[in-house]
Chain A
Amino acid sequence: EAEVAQSPRYKITEKSQAVAFWCDPISGHATLYWYRQILGQGPELLVQFQDESVVDDSQLPKDRFSAERLKGVDSTLKIQPAELGDSAMYLCASSLGETQYFGPGTRLLVL
């Protein structure tokens, strides 16, 4: 069964450093989402792509976060500079219809 892939699984960085996360959605899924999940809470949308276009980035802190999906397939989420409050799980999901399939996430710890 096809799954969403993410890397790295874990990332430890110091504040003010740059970090990048990668997501490979299920083949053929046009819609890709990046969510942030703070410990003890539900995932919250950061950015949504339809193919290579951004559909919703209203909750993305654009002063430090950026996301791209250049060829409409895999995607990269970047944080520069990282802050202590960015420590969280970053989940990628993809969908063809209503059902969203999640990747295993990247757990980020900012020291």
Chain B
Amino acid sequence: GENVEQHPSTLSVQEGDSAVIKCTYSDSASNYFPWYKQELGKRPQLIIDIRSNVGEKKDQRIAVTLNKTAKHFSLHITETQPEDSAVYFCAASLSSGYALNFGKGTSLLVTP
């Protein structure tokens, strides 16, 4: 089955700096890659996603890049703010209607 690895497990940055989280996946058939943000005690919330026919997607301060050849994708957060502090999960799935395979998460701390 699909195996998703995520690095780093913890990341601490100063407010205003950029943060980058990287994931690799094993199943070359995967073609949908969402990122979820989970604040303490709350539900995972989708923040951005990318499909295999796209190499990069941006939404304000958040961007995701995908390299299908290397089977890795990354989340980039620019101009970080304290409210960006949370656990971020990457995931991969075959397509619509298939379960997500999640990474183990990255705990991001943004210090003022």
Q: Which residues of A contact B (CB under 8 A)?
A: 4, 31, 33, 40-45, 48, 50, 55-56, 91, 95, 97-105
Contact = CB atoms under 8 A, between A and B. Distances in A.
Mostly helix, strand, loop or mixed at chain B's interface?
A: strand
Query: Chain A interface secondary structure, helix, strand, loop or mixed?
Result: strand
Given A98-B96, A99-B49, A42 B43 contact: no
Interface in B24-51: 32, 34, 36, 42-46, 49, 51
The 9 closest A-B pairs by CB, nearest first: A42-B102, A45-B99, A98-B96, A102-B43, A102-B44, A104-B43, A97-B96, A42-B89, A41-B104
Nearest to B95: A98
Contact of B91 (A4, A42, A101, A105): A42
Contacts of B43: 4, 91, 102-105
Contacts of A103: 43
